[in-house]
Amino acid sequence: MTQIIPALIISDKNLYNDFEELKDRFERIKPFLAEFDNWVQIDITDGEFVTSKTNISFEELSYFTKLAKVEFHLMILRLGRSIDKWIGLGPKRIIFHIEAAKPEDINNTIKKCKQAQIEVGLALNPETPSSSIKPWLEDIDTVMFMGVHPGFSGQESLPDTATKIGLLHYNHPNIKIEVDGGVRVENIRQLKEAGADIFVVGSGLFVAPDVGQAIKDLKLALSD
């Protein structure tokens, strides 16, 4: 079963504070949440793992976990120091980057998410080989392929994304595959045929003049 998840991404224009910007984006998508089975993704960056930084408190983030099924995409270093706080917010899924964590921290994060009955996944930057996640494939719920270099929205998907997805799907057909970055009407069908199950869409929705029509177009492209 395929799924589209809207990404509530902070812009790099610094027009106003991050919480208010996320709220504005959430309000834009709120009338259509049923189309996404009530899921949203929130990107969190620390200014170290990627150059952009999300300035928002845990208390402010709880606003969203009370209203929707939230997937946190954590692009942060030293996750072991804060994982209990992220779990405490009550998200439905936590995705974190294999490049940002030591093996012992990966093991600990997976264990804590499982104990809290929160889905957990590992994300791969474009240059990271999918073989690097092999030790954890039996323990995680999903693998996220980054179709762009993480940190900023609006980028075009890298051309080899579908090939990487296809290779993992061929070797591990039962693992759930998520793709984030550069997902558009023009390429979503190709990504599905490669083996992707979950499609995270940010600017493909929010720069559209009509969000409702953009959702219809994405779903139509998936069903063709």
| pTM recorded for the entire structure | 0.93
pLDDT tens for each residue of 193-223: 999 999 999 988 988 889 999 999 999 999 8
pLDDT tens for each residue of 131-162: 999 999 999 999 999 987 765 555 566 678 99
CB-CB contact of 157 with 178 (8 Å): no
* Residue whose C-alpha is closest to residue 175's, from 219, 145, 218: 145
CB-CB contact of 90 with 65 (8 Å): yes
Task: Say if residue 62's pLDDT is above 90.
Answer: yes
40-44, 48-52, 178-182: segment of lowest average pLDDT:
48-52
* Catalytic residue numbers, as ranges: 43, 180
Handedness of CA 66, 7, 78, 172 (dihedral sign): positive
With tokens 């990627």, the residue in question is 50
Domains and their CATH numbers in the chain = 3-223 (3.20.20.70)
With tokens 């290779």, the residue in question is 167
Task: Say if residue 15's pLDDT is above 50.
Answer: no
Confidence of residue 50 (pLDDT cuts 50, 70, 90): confident
